[in-house]
Homo-oligomer: A and B are copies of this chain.
């Protein structure tokens, strides 16, 4: 009797599979990988949708050549092959080291949560949320999770607080899979969802699963610095793609990849992984259209690139800023907006276009529930999902059971699919209103001797009327006078889904690639709190108009102004921290001390945290201090 052969044969794999959260029965994912047996591939969590009658979607193609050496060396846990036995009625379990749930001190956990319709979906105007808060109109629901719940389909703390599988807590995992299916409509039938411990951790694991040390990672030239910080220690190098108002351009990507010569990149072979934030891009706020996504996806197919879509702001696509109250009111969703209309208003995910399984999508609850959940999920093909589960198993294991139970309880048991969509609509409206509040406040600068001008679309400029004439004498141009004065600030209101709206800085981005912008990072801020969101205005400061511009470097001027603002109680993020082209930060070289070809710099002004009143105060201070800073 050959023990090696006996065990797998004697195991009921269907029974084993049924233990997984939502019934994987797919044995697809022919891996071509020694250590990822078909048995273990079956353990990744997703039903085989193509088995559903009428599902014409293809399964993912074989992408096993994308797995990194590290991914291949991750040991397969055939633990789940034991599940058949573990499920055996009457089985006495003396193999595992699970502490008994009776010894968990938590008997029950209760939550008081805001009603799903706590926030209006239509415009509520300045401070309305604050008012509703003070007025105490919020409704809450109270609910309880118990250690041992009589209804075994419900979340049990005895399970959630126990060692869990890398795939996640079953009720939450099922909710997430169904949500992904209905909202993103993946183009492949055999996609899978894996619960993760937050996007940052997920991205690091995805990157090391798909790239070897020394490999390049394609990314937008301005991007989320933590994403680069996550993979840099693993030897992955950012390779920046030029952007326009929609984010990265297909032309730029095509040109870079088709003309790739390793000799021009220190021997680096053509990158095969792309990191992108396609919606409300961080920090620029750019949102990519469906057409653009199709073009990028086609290039990914052409050059065999895996697209990693980090999409925390998907449901916050706020639409165009509209200064006119009438137009603003017309642009907002109707109260009668259906779920279908809401979902249709959002640019489709890359997942929907993905007929090959080469998209890895990262979702997070950080922006829609709370960041402290450290909870999200990854959607990808079964092969990658299986390897990511292994990566979880040997590090974080599973996301925290407290988080999975409480978020799972809220979503799967309290709100359900429709309830969560209703919540998302309200959150989206909240951020839209905040955006409008900040932009309104920034534009209301007449009292600070600054003029605002609309420069087409959502683009705005701030002009000071004061300048020096050719004799060096101070001249104050008359209000409304043309041709004179200096443009000292400009920005494009952040929005969603439109393109060509960031003309100011995008023409100059490429030349700034080798600037010393990033060098400031080491002195100011690199990761964590300050970089979490693009729910912000990307404010260009025209240092080239500063009277000391020829005597002082832009970086110095940027720091001077930043410090001055901070000392006057306004903390903003220096744009330099988002420059992917100079990563990691290096000491600046004197000849590179410019942030754009014109010598301008950027601040990112977030509207996510401050109250409307604080935003107005801050806008006022920014206007006054910048005006003073630029005074001749």
Chain A residues in the interface with B (C-beta under 8 A): 1-4, 6-8, 10, 35, 70-71, 73-79, 82, 85-86, 88, 90-114, 118-119, 129, 133, 138, 140, 160-166, 197-198, 200-201, 204, 226, 229-230, 232-234, 282, 366-367, 369-375, 391, 393-406, 410, 423, 427, 430, 520, 522-536, 552, 555-560, 563, 566-567, 569-573, 584-585, 604-610, 614-615, 617-618, 621
Return chain B residues, CB-CB under 8 Å to A534: 97
User: A72's closest neighbor in chain B, by CB?
Assistant: B233
Contact pick for A106, options B79, B111, B531, B607, CB 8 Å: B111
A1, chain B: closest CB distance, angstroms: 6
A323, chain B: closest CB distance, angstroms: 20
Q: Are A94 and B610 in contact (CB under 8 A)?
A: yes
Contact pick for A2, options B103, B233, B556, B570, CB 8 Å: B556
Within the assembled complex, what's the spacing in Å between the Cα atoms of A615 and B282?
56
Within the assembled complex, what's the spacing in Å between the Cα atoms of A215 and B85?
38
Return chain B residues, CB-CB under 8 Å to A229: 74-75, 77, 393-394
Q: Are A618 and B94 in contact (CB under 8 A)?
A: yes
Return chain B residues, CB-CB under 8 Å to A618: 92, 94
Return chain B residues, CB-CB under 8 Å to A427: 103
Return chain B residues, CB-CB under 8 Å to A563: 3, 6-7, 10
Cross-chain pairs A/B with CB under 8 angstroms, 23 sampled: A1-B560, A3-B559, A4-B555, A35-B522, A73-B232, A74-B229, A78-B524, A92-B569, A92-B610, A92-B621, A95-B525, A96-B533, A96-B609, A97-B534, A103-B427, A106-B406, A109-B406, A163-B366, A163-B371, A163-B528, A197-B374, A200-B397, A372-B405
Return chain B residues, CB-CB under 8 Å to A398: 372, 374
This chain: how many copies in the complex?
2
Chain B CB within 10 Å, residue with most, of A370, A552, A571, A614: A370
Q: In terms of DSSP, what is the predominant structure of the interface of chain A?
A: mixed
Q: A6-B563, A113-B107 are in contact. Are A529 and B163 (CB under 8 A)?
A: yes
Return chain B residues, CB-CB under 8 Å to A399: 374, 400
Given A97-B532, A99-B608: 15 more A-B contacts, CB < 8 Å: A3-B555, A82-B571, A91-B571, A94-B536, A94-B609, A95-B530, A96-B609, A97-B608, A98-B371, A103-B427, A161-B371, A163-B529, A201-B395, A400-B402, A400-B403
Contact pick for A233, options B70, B160, B372, CB 8 Å: B70
User: A316's closest neighbor in chain B, by CB?
Assistant: B99
Q: Are A571 and B401 in contact (CB under 8 A)?
A: no
Return chain B residues, CB-CB under 8 Å to A530: 79, 82, 95-97
Chain B CB within 10 Å, residue with most, of A108, A163, A606: A163
A7, chain B: closest CB distance, angstroms: 5
User: A616's closest neighbor in chain B, by CB?
Assistant: B92
